[in-house]
Structure 1
Amino acid sequence: ARCLVQSAQEKTVQKREVIIELITRIMLYRFTELKREEVLHMLGLTTEELKRTRFYQEVYAEGRQEGLQQGLQQGEAAVVLRQLRRRFGSLPNDFEEGIRRLSPDQIEALAEALLDFTDLEEVAAWLNRSA
């Protein structure tokens, strides 16, 4: 693999990128237990060269999207918990844990339903139905 990468360095920029992309994909799929730095060392590549590959950019974009969705879900759960605390005071720990485990759609539904709740028993019933 290292020899292929070195020979790719002599090619045109476009061919070099395609060859490095292919070799990097093969190495990362073949050696799933290795860290990125170990694969880079094996190939004799720099982090900057890896970052230019489409594979890296796709993985980075997927991770970023997942992180954004997770952050949004946590934020929505925090808002719902604040609203419930303001309305009913202190909440049992299992309520908070249950709300934090809800999907984004369930959190949205809970946010609407909490406007109609008159006591914590209704919240508990809603959580039991949604679990």
Structure 2
Amino acid sequence: MTPTKKGSDKPKVAFTLDQIEKEAHPDIEPLRMGVGGKVIELRSPMDMEASALVDLLEAMEQNAQMSELGEAAQAIKMLPVLLGEENYQILLDAKASFPALMKISEKVEAYYEEAFAAVGVDDPKGSSSQ
């Protein structure tokens, strides 16, 4: 270790978290959907704090393990997690049909997959499907 010069006790910093956040943050538009005169907006998962993203990924993983529910039931069960409870309630209050919820689920999952792909994550759910 090289001794520091007297008077410069501060360690030299190569980069800061703020610099990394700016560098690593892809410019991904939020996903917006109109529902009965309201707009539901989903921020990119890249705009989430790490702990919220971990919670989302854990919920996605648990959902994928519940194969006995069937694909449609899994999608509906995941929708509140993907959208957020408040946004999901807006859909329920608007009396969204089951087929509409399924289609919304597909679009939201595709949006999240595109966001992960933008930063080089191929399979955020960690599944080996395909």
Q: TM-score, structure 1 length as denominator?
A: 0.31
Structure with the bigger RCO (C-alpha within 8 Å, sep 6+) is 2
Q: TM-score, structure 2 length as denominator?
A: 0.31
Structure (1/2) with the larger strand percentage: 2
Structure (1/2) with the larger helix percentage: 1
